[in-house]
Amino acid sequence: MGLDIETAHRVIFYVLYFLFFLSSAVFIERLLYYFFTFPAEKKLIQKELEKAGERGAELLYTSYSAKLERGKGLLMFVITASPLLGLLGTVLGIMESFNTMAEKGVSDIAAVSKGIAFALEATALGIAVAVISLIYYYIVVGLSKKFKTEIKKLIIKTLTE
């Protein structure tokens, strides 16, 4: 007995919803970090710079830059995987339509169109999740660059004093 196509199609929808939830959670976590945690860390960076001096500045910049970059890989995964899963859902929906045509004949347009509608929903959901995650990604990248620049300015200011 093979895999039920309709069940596999539903699993794809659940995975797409999960990926959307995951990318939204990463985006919200990053925003919370940038706007609430990072300002406190800037003060910590300044204190650590005064102790570490010039030799530790590069290490501090590298470690705090890595913190700013977290989550980008997961967002890129969601951006890449979502349209592919949507396409897989499309293929499964079309296969369901062909199975319906084989069982009931071409004359049952309502049954055939159900599979095609399912297929289009999967495509639309996959693209929507990818586009929203892409927006999240570019916001995270922009904020990350902004705060990296702030760290550089803080390092230069602290070391030149």
pLDDT digits (tens, 9 = 90+) for 110-137: 767 777 887 889 899 999 999 999 999 9
Quick check: 69 pLDDT over 90?
yes
Q: Which of 32-36, 42-46, 101-105, 134-138 has the lowest mean pLDDT?
A: 101-105
Per-residue confidence band for 108, with pLDDT thresholds at 50, 70 and 90: low
Is pLDDT above 50 for 1? no
- Cα 131 to chain centroid distance, Å, stands at 9
**Token pair for residue 135?**
């927006």
Choose from 5-14, 63-72, 100-109 the range with maximum mean pLDDT: 63-72
* Residue at token pair 């639309």: 124
Q: Between 101 and 80, where is the model more confident?
A: 80
Measured between alpha carbons, how far is 62 from 108 in angstroms, rounded to an integer?
Answer: 63
Q: What is the DSSP string of 76-130?
A: HHHHHHHHHHHHHHHHHHHHHHHHHHHHH-TT-HHHHHHHHHHHHHHHHHHHHHH
Ranking 10-14, 72-76, 82-86 by mean pLDDT, the lowest is 10-14
Over 80: is that where the pLDDT of 154 sits?
yes
* pLDDT tens-digit readout, 131-152: 999 999 999 999 999 999 998 8
Backbone φ and ψ for 4, nearest 5 degrees, come out as -70, 120
Tokens (6 digits) for 38:
């990072």
pLDDT at 105 over 80: no
Structurally, the chain folds into a number of domains equal to 1
Percentage of residues in the chain having pLDDT higher than 70: 94
**pLDDT (0 to 100) of residue 87:** 93
Domain encompassing residue 107 = 5-160
